[in-house]
């Protein structure tokens, strides 16, 4: 995939949730993301292993690394918005490049406005075609 970028998605479970539920939610989100036109979705390794775990085997619960083209950024955010409203998740934090955004159970209008501004800052720039076509994208 040309101009692929890395996005880190972190889920924060509901206050009454547990690690098993957070792991199941992460697996569900990974499967949904893979249905989009992304290059790869992987679990992120934890920096410190829990007591008793083998070094290098620990996975950070609720954290996914998504490799994608900026062209599919809007689709990924729309999926995250919908996904968040239908799951017992308090917050989804997205880090893309140097920027981050947190999606919470805010009003749909407020959340859409924030996401649209974030996406606009990261979408590829369209170069106008002198012949009247749509042109090409530059990331």
Domain span at residue 122?
5-138
Total tally of structural domains belonging to the chain = 1
- CA separation for the pair 11, 33 (Å, rounded): 14
With the C-alpha atoms ordered 69, 75, 77, 80, is the resulting torsion angle positive or negative?
negative
- pLDDT attached to residue 59: 61
**Beta strand 125-127 with 59-68: parallel, antiparallel or unpaired?**
unpaired
Task: Name every residue whose Cβ is closer than 8 Å to that of residue 39 and which is 6 or more positions away in sequence.
Answer: 1, 4, 67, 68, 69
Q: What is the pLDDT of residues 7-17, one digit of tens each?
A: 999 998 878 87
What tokens does 44 get? 């992120």
Q: What is the pLDDT of residues 77-106, one digit of tens each?
A: 999 988 888 788 888 999 998 889 888 865
Q: What is the pLDDT of residues 18-49, one digit of tens each?
A: 888 889 999 999 999 999 999 999 998 766 44
The CATH number that applies at residue 112 is 3.30.70.100
């Amino acid at each position: 995939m040309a101009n692929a970028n890395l996005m880190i998605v972190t889920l924060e479970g509901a206050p009454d949730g547990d690690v098993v539920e957070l792991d199941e939610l992460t697996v569900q989100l990974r499967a949904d993301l893979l249905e989009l036109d992304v290059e790869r979705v992987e679990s992120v390794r934890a920096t410190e292993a829990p007591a008793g775990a083998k070094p290098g085997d620990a996975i950070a619960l609720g954290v996914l690394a998504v490799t994608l083209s900026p062209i599919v950024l809007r689709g990924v955010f729309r999926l995250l918005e919908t996904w968040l409203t239908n799951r017992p998740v308090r917050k989804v934090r997205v880090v893309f490049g140097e920027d981050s955004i947190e999606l919470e159970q805010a009003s749909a209008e407020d959340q859409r406005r924030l996401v649209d501004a974030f996406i606009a800052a990261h979408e590829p720039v369209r170069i106008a075609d002198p012949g009247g076509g749509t042109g090409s994208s530059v990331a």
